[in-house]
Amino acid sequence: MKRLTLAGGILLLSIVSVYADDYARYYVNMPVEIPHAAPPVIPDNSVNIKDFGGKGDGMTLNTDAFQKAISALEKKGGGRVVVPAGIWMTGLISLKDNIDLHIEKNAVIMASADRNLFFKEKDGKKESKATPLINASKRKNISITGEGTIDGNGALWRPVKRSKVSDVEWKGFLYMGGTVSKDGQLWYPFNLKKHANTAATAETQEKQRTHLIRFTDCENVLVKDVTIQNSPKFHLIPTRCNNVIVDNVTIRCPWNAQNGDALDISSCRNVLIVNNVIDAGDDGICMKAGAGKAGLAYGPCENLLIENNTVYHAHGGFVIGSEFTGGMKNIIVRNNLFSGTDTGLRFKSGIGRGGKTENIFISDIVMTDIKDEAIIFECTYQDRAVGKKVSETLSSGKDVSFAPDFSDIHISNVTCRNARTAISAHGLPGLKCVNGITIDNSIFFCTEKDKDVDETVELVITNTEFHVQ
């Protein structure tokens, strides 16, 4: 830390924000060698959001203050924006090259309740979908650090299923205003008492919902130590990025939050995910790689190490899919705990969304109180908008483009207590969708069934115990 003495005082000029953590220590005893992810190097400059008119009083809108602070550092080549304790209401925050957004302990960056602030304009017209609260596109050396919190104010965006909330909670949503579907089973945050709509109908407004933090086509990304919570949709979604580290991050939202994925890694290369704690409304740690021809253009999720993470509630602890036509390659998942997830290891996709998996090694996984399956392969998955019914699933029709090919997946040293079913695997008629799967040296305690596997599946199980109790 550099210091400059001025007139009897000490002025802190800057804080070295080059994270020198030895992340190489995680890359030992690897089943397949992959490149090491490394943290970004941030220039030795620092500014405080207060110096640009920011106020953490929970009322003042700080969008301009964040923009000015980032712009001031950008002119110096980058540095750290310090956000001290307080509640910092804001609209969009767009990170630039060489910027670290440092959120100190007891500081909360909260998305403004004015949803209209999250729509950018293009050619004089408001875009049809909201932009994530914190975003970056085609940037290098960016990070979010500190012990503070990022809150997406998601209750103002998310629809709510009646079946997933208590009577007391349901009355709370009705008190906000909103709109209930004709069948009484779905509440939309449309026509709220205190907040303006962003579209003409509840259904159109629902389609505008977006993620909390998204980095697209970026290089050298670090997210470390912060808490990320209450997103309108997915919480943290690096997309087509290279060299990404997510370390010691807490991601949380209500268990019933619609589309409340925690961490979605999409078509990224050279990624390290370590020491994180997740408690989410949808998938926990999820790998994606696009759908259809676009996914092929995006490329695979490749060279990932996922270690020492804990996932509490989630639809799946570790997930591949549903869209991954770009493929999955060289992914190591080890020493993770899943406690209370709906499923443990979840592989899901369907026609038009699937790709090929290669060199997937999953080991030393502990699971407790898994609601449904400890391990599941599902090849008829459909992504559908809230309120829409499942359409007839394509299984053996003429068009089988981009069918899932779950193969070369090796699972070992799993200890699971209290899953309904240990292993469920179902492919598609006439296609090899689940093949080359091995499960070794594991033990499963389940309440109903050990295996639910159809004849299309190629699965080799060795040195494994099943106990149905």
Using one digit for the tens of pLDDT, what is the confidence trace for 258-271?
999 999 999 999 99
Cα separation of 121 and 239, whole Å? 22
Amino acid at residue number 35: P
DSSP designation for 53: T
Q: Percentages helix, strand, coil for the chain, rounded to the nearest 5?
A: 10, 45, 45
- Tell me the HSE value of 50 on the side-chain side, using a 13 A CA sphere: 9
Cα separation of 457 and 462, whole Å? 16
Instruction: Kindly list the distances between the CA atom of residue 312 and the CA atoms of 39, 253, 321, in Å, as whole numbers in the listed order.
Output: 27, 11, 19
Query: What is the model's pLDDT at position 401?
Result: 85
Residue ranges of the chain whose pLDDT lies below 50 = 1-18, 390-398
Cα separation of 271 and 331, whole Å? 9
Query: What is the model's pLDDT at position 260?
Result: 97
For residue 79, give both structure tokens. Answer: 């540095």
Amino acid at residue number 127: E
pTM over 0.75: yes
Query: What is the model's pLDDT at position 400?
Result: 78
Longest alpha-carbon distance in the chain: 81
Cα separation of 34 and 27, whole Å? 8
3-state SS track over 278-289:
EECCCCCEEEEC
Query: What is the model's pLDDT at position 393?
Result: 40
Query: What is the model's pLDDT at position 382?
Result: 72
Query: What is the model's pLDDT at position 18?
Result: 45
3-state SS track over the chain:
CEEEEECCEEEEEECCCCCCCCHHHHCCCCCCCCCCCCCCCCCCCEEEHHHHCCCCEEEEECHHHHHHHHHHHHHCCCEEEEECCEEEEECCEECCCCEEEEECCCEEEEECCCHHHHCCEECCEECCCCCCCEEEECCEEEEEECCCEEECCHHHCCCEEHHHCCHHHHHHHHHCEEEECCCCCEEEEEEECCCCCCCCCHHHHHHCCCCCEEEECCEEEEEECCEEECCCCCCEEEECCEEEEEECCEEECCCCCCCCCCEEEECCEEEEEECCEEECCCCCEEEECCCHHHHHHHCCEEEEEEECCEECCCCEEEEECCCCCCCEEEEEEEEEEEECCCEEEEEECCCCCCCEEEEEEEEEEEEEEEEEEEEEEECCCCCCCCCCCCCCCCCCCCCCCCCCEECCEEEEEEEEEEEEEEEEEECCCCCCCECCEEEECCEEEEEEEEEEECCCCCEEEECCEEEEC
Element (H, E) at 295: helix 292-298
CA 309 from chain center: how many Å? 14
Query: What is the model's pLDDT at position 389?
Result: 53
